């Protein structure tokens, strides 16, 4: 079971324009700092947060309970001009778990409701014995020589976001989420997706975008460890230790 936490800034839209519009560099700083801080807080417990839309962040939070979430929620209130609500769900696939997490937040009220504040709704938590996180770390083959050092910075960006969107759509079809993590890197919480399914999905993205991808996959009880294993898989592919475009390391075998 994968455990997903959806983190949503309370009533953020209205706040950004009250009393008048707030300076954009300030908002960008606020959002990036919030993301960095949440990454530290979840990371200290073996979790990982993805910035997603910055005002709606998505974390893989296996191993974290109600008190862990509550401490984070209070810490944000004590250091930021905004508060956050959280919904938590667990399921066999990442897509299903985020669906439940979303429902948990929506049950608490609207994202732009002035009444909703610091909801913390947990549908269920992954127990240690069935805690299971699969994460794929996907990147583009030879982006530096083919794109970064040859094309303009912005043309490279368009290509990277094209691949992102195509990955998001393809992987959501088979139950995974996919997030951009900078450079030419993507991470996909992908419980219960087989090696064949993933290889085929990467191939479909290649056909649609003309970009060849590879993926290291890690399986562990917590997200941080799964990501570490995924990184090692990716390194081994880069080093030519396999001809396959997908390599899996499983901590739970």
Per CB under 8 A, contacts with its own copies among 40-59 are 40-45, 47-49, 51-56, 58
Write down the least CB distance from residue 77 to its own copies, Å.
7
Write down the least CB distance from residue 203 to its own copies, Å.
20
Could you give the CA distance from residue 36 to residue 17 in angstroms, rounded to a whole number? 23
Write down the least CB distance from residue 182 to its own copies, Å.
3
- The window from 98-106, 123-131, 200-208, 245-253 that contacts its own copies (CB under 8 A) reads 98-106
**Residue 200 in the binding site for its own copies (CB under 8 A):** no
Reading the block at residue 14, the tokens are 């209205």
Q: Which of 84, 88, 95, 205 binds its own copies (CB under 8 A)?
A: 95
Could you give the CA distance from residue 74 to residue 51 in angstroms, rounded to a whole number? 20
Please answer whether residues 88 and 104 qualify as being in contact, where contact means their C-beta atoms are separated by less than 8 angstroms. yes
**Residue 161 in the binding site for its own copies (CB under 8 A):** yes
Tell me if residue 196 falls in helix, strand or coil.
helix
Q: What are phi and psi of 217, to 5 degrees?
A: -125, 135
Write down the least CB distance from residue 130 to its own copies, Å.
23
Rank residues 39 and 92 by Cβ distance to its own copies and give the closer one. Answer: 39
**Residue 25 in the binding site for its own copies (CB under 8 A):** yes
The crossing angle, in degrees rounded to 10, of helices 153-173 and 195-209 is 140
Positions in 62-91 near its own copies (CB under 8 A) = 71, 74-75, 77-81
**Residue 210 in the binding site for its own copies (CB under 8 A):** no
DSSP state of 42: H
* Burial of residue 124 (number of CB atoms within 10 Å: 0-12, 13-18, 19+): middle
């Amino acid at each position: 079971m994968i455990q997903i936490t959806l983190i949503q800034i309370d009533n953020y839209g209205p706040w950004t324009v009250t009393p008048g519009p707030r300076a954009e560099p300030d908002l960008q700083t606020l959002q990036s700092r919030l993301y960095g801080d949440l990454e530290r807080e979840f990371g200290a417990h073996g979790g990982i947060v993805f910035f997603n839309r910055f005002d709606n962040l998505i974390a893989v939070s296996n191993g974290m309970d109600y008190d862990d979430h509550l401490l984070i929620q209070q810490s944000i209130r004590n250091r930021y001009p905004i508060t956050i609500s959280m919904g938590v769900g667990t399921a066999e696939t990442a897509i299903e778990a985020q669906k439940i997490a979303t429902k948990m937040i929506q049950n608490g009220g609207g994202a732009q409701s002035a009444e909703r504040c610091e909801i913390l709704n947990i549908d269920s938590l992954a127990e240690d014995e069935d805690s299971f996180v699969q994460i794929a770390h996907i990147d583009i083959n030879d982006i530096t020589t083919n794109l970064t050092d040859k094309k303009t910075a912005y043309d490279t960006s368009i290509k990277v976001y094209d691949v992102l969107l195509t990955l998001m759509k393809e992987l959501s079809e088979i139950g995974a989420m996919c997030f951009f993590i900078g450079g030419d890197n993507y991470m996909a919480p992908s419980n219960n997706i087989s090696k064949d399914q993933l290889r085929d999905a990467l191939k479909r993205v290649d056909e649609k975008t003309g970009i060849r991808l590879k993926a290291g996959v890690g399986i562990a009880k917590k997200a941080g460890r799964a990501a570490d294993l995924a990184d090692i898989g990716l390194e081994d592919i880069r080093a030519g230790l396999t001809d396959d475009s997908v390599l899996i390391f499983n901590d739970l075998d």
